[in-house]
Amino acid sequence: MNTIVLATGNAGKIRELSAMLKELQPGIAVLGLKDFPEIGDIPETGETFEDNARIKALAVARATGLVAVADD
């Protein structure tokens, strides 16, 4: 099974992405930040929403070793 981490604590967003991926590619698990409490808060120091999403996705990918996606 493949795993993607959505860099959010929003359970609704995790459910939405899980549902979309289930239709496109069954067998992909979507986890959230609550599954990795050791990561803690990720400072959003970017100048744009895109910058902050990139900061969060990279931090989560580095911390977990998994593919990570973020929005802001």
Catalytic residues: 72
Residue recorded with tokens 């931090």: 59
Distance CA 27, CA 39 (A): 25
Type of residue at 6: L
In this structure, are residues 72 and 44 in contact, taking their beta carbons and an 8 Å threshold? yes
